[in-house]
Structure 1
Amino acid sequence: MTAAQQLISIGRELSALGISPGSSGNISVREGERLLVTGTGVQLGDLREDDLAVLDLDGTHLAGARASKEVPLHRGMYRRDPEFGAVVHLHSPWATALSCTPPWSERSAVPPLTPYFVMRVGQTPLLPYRMPGSPQLGEDVLAAPGPFRAALLAHHGSVVAGRDLREALDRAVELEEACRLAVLTASVPRRVLDPAQIAELAERWGSPWTSESVRPGQD
């Protein structure tokens, strides 16, 4: 399966899951020195190959459709970690809802309620609000402290990266579930994993979680 076919398949999965409403959200995959990015204004469930844009790593348009305005956000993730090979940006309901609330900790907007969030996603900072499509979104990704492979964008949604499209999708789905649980438990007494449990999970699964992301004795 070509990279374009994989991207189209992932778009359909995201749409079927109901976490890419309307024409919101965009996906990209890196192919050597090029990026393949979904075009602007296209529903992810209806993608065709002529809806995809080809860019160089500097964001220059090479061929295909007009790229999503969120290219700076995608490029920020690729520039942050050369191991990232795919990026998913969504306006999914639970991640967007949580992005409108104060972050749980300095390094993670999402509390560690389940081991799966720590294992599969890791600490997820809240980046400041910017107008959609702002070049500053990419700079915010680069400037944020600590390691991460997912972030919430204030009043906007989420951005998630993986080594490939499947990994990026799986992390985006896990993040949406973690955000759902965080919103549902926000108004009731809740327990999070303790620092030792988090450290064990992060070490075992190689996920990013630093001490600044822990709030012992809270929640």
Structure 2
Amino acid sequence: MWREISRIGKKLVDSGLVESHFGNISVRVGNRMVITRSGSALDEIGEDSVVEVRLDGTCALDIIASSETIVHRAIYKNTHALAIVHAHCPFAVVMSLLAHEDSVRPADSEGQYFLGNIPIVRGGIGSEELAANMSQALASHKAAILYSHGTFAIGRVLDEAYVLTTQVEHSCKIRYWYDLATKTQAPVTP
């Protein structure tokens, strides 16, 4: 399992969706989850960079697991997710800061089709509030943006959660550039 997490971690860093030591990845295995350890470099994941923790409550290994373990646990309990990717996508963060609504509306057709409106969720990092809010948002969406912090995407496998992460970032880039262009572009007269 750690090899799959490592593969996705490298892809996230290589594509600029996260800096090496930010973000986390998990996979559900029955009533447990394998999750990256706190402070792990996502582009250097090894067998000792992940930890297996319970889903039905806290356990002793939570102390070395990702600071977002509580959020992953709530998502697994309240959705059909089998894999979660949390990344610090730069354009998604920017769009959450600029948004005047509680979601980002993709301007691109792929974003509209695959994501619909992308919810912006609030809550402190690794908090019960965030766990409740994010798991609620992901019960009806494939991905969501954590205000000023990054994205969470779910899937049946890690590749699906990764692709959704890339789609959110792509749609946020397009939305940002579109909004910028329409605000600075001189009106076209016939």
TM bin (shorter chain): 0.7 to 0.9
Greater alpha carbon shift after TM alignment, 166-175 vs 57-66: 57-66
Aligned to 1:166: 159
TM norm structure 1? 0.76
Supply the distance in 2 between the matched residues of 1:9 and 1:64 (Cα, whole angstroms).
Answer: 23
Aligned to 2:44: 46
Supply the distance in 2 between the matched residues of 1:52 and 1:113 (Cα, whole angstroms).
Answer: 37
**For 1:3-53, what per-residue CA distance to the aligned partner results, in whole angstroms no more than 9, with x for missing partners?**
221111111111111111131100001111110000101110011111101
Supply the distance in 1 between the matched residues of 2:39 and 2:138 (Cα, whole angstroms).
Answer: 32
Amino acid at match of 1:92: C
Aligned to 1:25: 23
Aligned to 2:172: 179
TM norm structure 2? 0.87
Classify 1:59/1:101 alpha carbon distance in 2 versus 1 (closer, same or farther; 3 Å).
farther
* Paired residue total: 183
Equivalent residue of 2:92, what SS?
A: helix
The answer (yes or no) to whether the contact 2:79–2:138 under 8 Å persists in 1 is no
Q: Which has the higher helix share?
A: 2
- Structure 2 residue ranges without an equivalent (≥5): 184-190
How many Å apart are 1:99 and its aligned residue? 1.3
How many Å apart are 1:55 and its aligned residue? 0.8
Classify 1:176/1:167 alpha carbon distance in 2 versus 1 (closer, same or farther; 3 Å).
same
How many Å apart are 1:127 and its aligned residue? 0.9
The answer (yes or no) to whether the contact 2:62–2:69 under 8 Å persists in 1 is no
Q: Percent identity?
A: 30
- Structure 1 residue ranges without an equivalent (≥5): 191-219
How many Å apart are 1:177 and its aligned residue? 0.7
**For 1:158-188, what per-residue CA distance to the aligned partner results, in whole angstroms no more than 9, with x for missing partners?**
1111111010001101111111111112233
The answer (yes or no) to whether the contact 1:34–1:57 under 8 Å persists in 2 is yes
Aligned-residue Cα RMSD (Å) equals 2.2
